[in-house]
Amino acid sequence: MLNQRTIKETVRTTGVGLHSGRKVELTLRPADADTGIVFRRVDFNPPVEIPSSAHVVGDTRMASVLVKDDARVSTVEHIMSACAGLGIDNLYIDVTAEEIPIMDGSASSFVYLLQQSGVEEQDAPRKFIRVLKDVEVRQGSGANEKWARLSPHDGFKLDFFIEFNHPAVDGTMQRALVDFGDITYVRDVARARTFGFMQDVESLRGMGLARGGSLENAIVMDEYRILNADGLRYEDEFVRHKILDAIGDLYLVGHPLLASYTAHKSGHALNNELLRALLAQPDSYEIVTFDSLGTAPASYVQMMSREWAQS
């Protein structure tokens, strides 16, 4: 049987929020089977629990933000991406402020934390959402058109195209295909960093965003070039980070997907709209489990040995 997984031990770290600039303590704790990924604002009394869900995403400006009453947890996409990439189904994520720390701008620090804790297999079948027919959402038209689509696929793959019309971005590949039947999340996706443009910083900070951004936690560009002395980690790091984000955004559906995701200039808002469109059409998906490893998608069966072997 392909079973659910949590972590073995509690692990902690500290960092700053990319948008808030506030220091935050992050604690990852094991959770029982069928708990899901649950964020907890432990600076509230009593603590406020926000289960990860596409329906509680209340803000998508530059990040995916979960909202419950007066409590918010912002920038959840990177840690959700790490959980998806390592096959973690159940986890408590305690935070002492409104935003998950940005760390180095990628998911690699969260991968390290999860691997440091270790994985615990649980006595319950892992549940998947199998997409049965195409579901697509679109915004804009012409040069401003953006779209994202989920299609049936016996596994999980993502095909993403970006277009920024910037010399530093144009000089790299702007389309990437990641098929988890062929690649590993830890090596091929997790280290891709978020990126931004110097000319946007003032306006973003005026909106209360990017207050914690720096060359230590993002790829930063002026009008012509990349300002980071160490350059890029992947030759297609820009689009690869968009894939990292999409993996995290899509995991907010509550279970791993059996689907092919294709996107053209998509972002957090459109990714969330896509999940809501999927969930609004009960005939477009089904919940499945696998009684034997032989009938399960190979990419998910291989995940344990392939991803956790790199700890």
Residues designated catalytic = 268
Residue 191 and residue 108 in contact, taking contact as beta carbons nearer than 8 Å: yes
**Which tokens is 202 given?**
């003032």
For 129, other C-beta atoms within 10 Å of its C-beta total: 22
**Dihedral sign of CA atoms 82, 225, 235, 239 in order:** positive
Q: How far apart are CA 111 and CA 7, in angstroms?
A: 12
On the 0-12 / 13-18 / 19+ scale of CB atoms within 10 A, 292 is exposed
Residue 251 and residue 51 in contact, taking contact as beta carbons nearer than 8 Å: no
Amino acid identity for residue 224 in this structure: Y
Residue 2 and residue 296 in contact, taking contact as beta carbons nearer than 8 Å: yes
The radius of gyration of the chain's CA atoms, rounded to the nearest angstrom, is: 18
